[in-house]
Amino acid sequence: MKFLGQAKNLISEIDIFWDNISRSALVFRTGMNNYLDGKTKRFQSDLKDIRKLESDTDVMRREIKYKLYSHMLIPESRGDVLGLLETTDNVVDSIKKVLLQFDIERPEIPDSMKDEFKELTQLSVNTVDEMVLASRAFFREISIVNDHINKVHYYEHEADKIEEDLKRKSFTSKAIKTLSWKVQLRYFVERLARVSDEAEAVCDRLSVYVIKRSF
Amino acid sequence: MDTILIFLSSGLFLGWSLGANDAANVFGTAVSTKMLKFKWAAIICSIFVILGAVIGGAGASETLGKLGSVNAIAGSFTVALAAGLTVFLMTRVKLPVSTSQAIVGAIIGWNFFSGFKTDISTLTKIVYTWVLCPILAAIFGFVLYKALIIYIRRSKIHMIRIDQYTRIGLIFVGAFGSYSLGANNIANVMGVFVPVSPFKSINIAGFTLSNTSILFFLGALAISLGVFTYSKKVMTTVGSDIFRISPLDAFIVVLSSSLVLFIFASEGLQALLISFGLPSFPLVPVSSSQAVVGAILGIAIGKGGKNINFGIMGKIGMGWVLTPFLSGVITFIMLFFMQNVFMQKVVL
């Protein structure tokens, strides 16, 4: 019966892992809104939160990996599960990096672009949320994974459109006077959109795992 | 006693080769996919093969007796040896072979040599059972697969939980499969020795062990020896060979094929069906490997029927004809030598 207990622990650890990813997406949105609204103190607190979440996620991923192999669980899909957890780790990593970069460089975002920055952030958060739902479904209800993956593709595509729009504005707007400012804005737009790209990369892998595991 | 053991040796060898090869049908995937350690698979398999052989081995053995009752121990030795040789030769040339078909061919060979008439109705019953075996396994495989998938989809069980349940399930169906293998296939190993059994019934703590049960017990020990000494190699290659299936599929395959073997071995089930006025299944030794192939085909059809190699069915069909024929011819020739060169009484 010991091994039933081990399974229970592992299931709850995997669930907590996905909770962490969901929370990271929420912190990302709050952090970006606080930065764009000039609420520096709150932004600093969000940055602290995301650093902790990122490090916790890393520790959890290693723990799950160790347990999967040491208890010889799901032998036929553990490689896929680990691949999924590792690529998901990149999403949190990407969120942490973008917030950290905002803190280091403190780019000035023109008021005319703030709403679109928020929209881009929201779309990236949406992709992460749907990616988490798809991943949770992979463990419990494989038949609905593709529904969530389709939404990830949709949000990522929308994020690409805003990304392109913001980049164009950065280089055409008369309010942004220097080239260094234009380049810096382009860099941050790309950084924000990368979160949705990473989430899509996770889903690309997931769709292959779904085919492999489909009954 | 020494002579008796020498004569029994061919049957024991057949038992050893059955344990070495057919245990993989029961526990192969569980071991090769690392769901279960070989040590535990071998222990469970051995215990339940012995139980199956001693408790439920009589039915299928009786049918073989009806086909042809080999009445001299040297004859039984030759028949079992010829069957073992056929299995060896067919395996060497990589043709699908079943001990059940080899022993039936060998008994018919003995009938020809001795001049006894082969009971055609029994032979027809046996042959139709061989055809029915993979078909029935495929039906079980298909139905069980569909039922299990519907259950898993509805209950939304976590992947890790499914893994746990499969692991436990593989142990239970493995034990059941070993029991069925012992009950159904002990007839192949020791069936031809039943009419000439040299043992006497013994009483142990109020339980009477008949001479046939002692014979079956020895045969089952030989199967267990085959499991422990050689089946690990076969089991570890099963996963990477033709049966590239998931542990969940393996659970269904073992359950389906074990059910088929059980149906064709259980006197209790036969009596129950008859008491309800239902058509019963004949008690005939069938091929566990063919049952496994049938079950896999059933699952493959359940998965949509893509990439099914129907050529394998042709190979099974060829085995139904080629194995008994070859075995019969070898038995005839060996009996001739045994009688005329080694001066042994092969027919009373």
| Number of separate domains in chain B | 1
Assign B237 a pLDDT band (cuts: 50, 70, 90): low
Residues of A in contact with B169 (CB under 8 A): none
> Is the Cβ pair B164, A138 closer than 8 Å?
no
Report the percentage of chain B scoring pLDDT > 70: 96
In a domain, B63, yes or no: yes
Establish if A9 touches chain B: CB-CB under 8 angstroms.
no
Tokens coding B158: 């976590």
Establish if B151 touches chain A: CB-CB under 8 angstroms.
no
Do you know the residue count of chain A?
215
* B239 has pLDDT over 50: no
Residues of A in contact with B153 (CB under 8 A): 141, 143, 215
Establish if A1 touches chain B: CB-CB under 8 angstroms.
no
> Is the Cβ pair A140, B153 closer than 8 Å?
no
A155-176 pLDDT tens trace: 999 999 999 999 999 999 999 9
CA nearest to B109, candidates B306, B327, B338, B343? B327
Question: In angstroms, what separates the C-alpha of A78 from chain B's closest C-alpha?
Answer: 10
What pLDDT, on a 0 to 100 scale, did the predictor assign at position B27? 86
What pLDDT, on a 0 to 100 scale, did the predictor assign at position A215? 62
Residues of B in contact with A9 (CB under 8 A): none
For residues A202 and A17, the answer to whether their CB atoms sit within 8 Å is: no
Q: Which of these CATH numbers, 3.90.180.10, 2.60.120.330, 1.20.58.220, 3.20.20.80, describes A2-213?
A: 1.20.58.220
* A17 has pLDDT over 80: yes
Quick one: angle between helices B311-340 and B73-92, nearest 10? 140
ipTM rounded to 2 decimals: 0.83
Please name the residue of chain A whose CA is at the shortest distance from the CA of residue B301. A215
**For chain A, domain boundaries:** 2-213
Establish if A55 touches chain B: CB-CB under 8 angstroms.
no
- Residue B280 burial (C-beta neighbours within 10 Å; 0-12, 13-18, 19+): middle
A170-204 pLDDT tens trace: 999 999 989 999 999 999 999 999 999 999 999 99
Establish if B169 touches chain A: CB-CB under 8 angstroms.
no
For residues A109 and A117, the answer to whether their CB atoms sit within 8 Å is: yes
What pLDDT, on a 0 to 100 scale, did the predictor assign at position B244? 62
What pLDDT, on a 0 to 100 scale, did the predictor assign at position A48? 97
In a domain, B345, yes or no: no
Range of the domain at B272: 2-340
* B259 has pLDDT over 80: yes
For residues B331 and B77, the answer to whether their CB atoms sit within 8 Å is: no
Assign A91 a pLDDT band (cuts: 50, 70, 90): very high
Nearest to B156 among A14, A77, A141 (CB): A141
Establish if B152 touches chain A: CB-CB under 8 angstroms.
yes
Establish if B163 touches chain A: CB-CB under 8 angstroms.
yes
Nearest to A74 among B153, B160, B303 (CB): B160
| Residue B189, C-beta contacts closer than 8 angstroms, at least 6 positions apart | B11, B12, B14, B15, B18, B80, B99, B219, B222, B223
For residues B207 and B221, the answer to whether their CB atoms sit within 8 Å is: no
B interface test, pick of A1, A9, A11, A74 with most B CB neighbours within 10 Å: A74
Instruction: Give the 3-state secondary structure of residue B207.
Output: strand
What pLDDT, on a 0 to 100 scale, did the predictor assign at position B143? 97
Please name the residue of chain B whose CA is at the shortest distance from the CA of residue A67. B160
How far is C-alpha B218 from the chain's CA centre?
A: 16
Residue, of B284 and A122, whose pLDDT is higher: A122
Tokens coding B200: 């006497």
A interface test, pick of B38, B159, B307 with most A CB neighbours within 10 Å: B159
Spatial separation of the C-alpha atoms in residues A130 and A127, rounded to whole Å? 5
Residues of A in contact with B157 (CB under 8 A): 140
Residues of B (243-282) whose Cβ lies below 8 Å from A: 246-248
In a domain, B347, yes or no: no
B120-160 pLDDT tens trace: 999 999 988 988 999 999 999 999 999 999 999 889 899 99
Residues of B in contact with A73 (CB under 8 A): 160, 163-164
* B243 has pLDDT over 50: no
In a domain, B346, yes or no: no
Residues of B in contact with A74 (CB under 8 A): 159-160, 163
